[in-house]
Amino acid sequence: MVIVLIALIAAVAGCGDGLPPSPRERTRAEEARADARLTALVRGLPGVLDVRVMVVLPVDDPLVAAPPRPARATVIAVARAVDPSPIRTAATTGARSLIGADAEITVVVVPAPAWQRASRRLAVAVAALALAAAATAIALTLARRRALATYRGTRPQ
């Protein structure tokens, strides 16, 4: 009896990770793959600086009686001052090939913000502060070495 109980516990403990994924888990994994592929596709287009993608696929669950909703994809691309229509076309075509022809696809191309004079001043001020902090750290390190060498009675190097 004890041997049967140990064998049963070993069998149950050993198969904890062997369960097949649920339909929802499979759908989330497919969404993540589609997100990554669509992001890579749009990011590779000329003039695109940043991309955000969200793909929602219908869950094919046999236990749910409701009809599945169509797949949806939203792509937001930040691009330099270029014509946004090729970016929209490429993103729409890529999304349709990845998630289906009947998918609802929204593509928004946002122009990149211009580098302004105030931003340059801020960048120069931050760089000056970083340089001052580095110089202060070096000066304090040298002063500490000098004080330590004087305390020990040796010459500072």
Read off the pTM.
0.60
Are residues 30 and 58 in contact, defined by beta-carbon separation less than 8 angstroms? no
Alpha-carbon span 85 to 76, nearest angstrom: 13
| Predicted local distance difference test score (pLDDT) of residue 156 | 56
- pLDDT surpasses 80 at 18: no
Compute the C-alpha angle 131/49/45, nearest 5°.
145
Instruction: Supply 105's token pair.
Output: 């696809």
Instruction: Report domain extents, the chain.
Output: 20-111, 115-157
Q: How confident is the model at residue 131 (pLDDT cuts 50, 70, 90)?
A: very high
Beta bridge partners of 77: 51, 109
Compute the C-alpha angle 96/81/94, nearest 5°.
10
Of 114 and 57, more confident: 57
What CATH number does the domain located at 20-111 have? 3.30.300.30
Dump pLDDT digits (tens) for 95-110. Answer: 999 888 888 999 999 9
| Predicted local distance difference test score (pLDDT) of residue 23 | 81
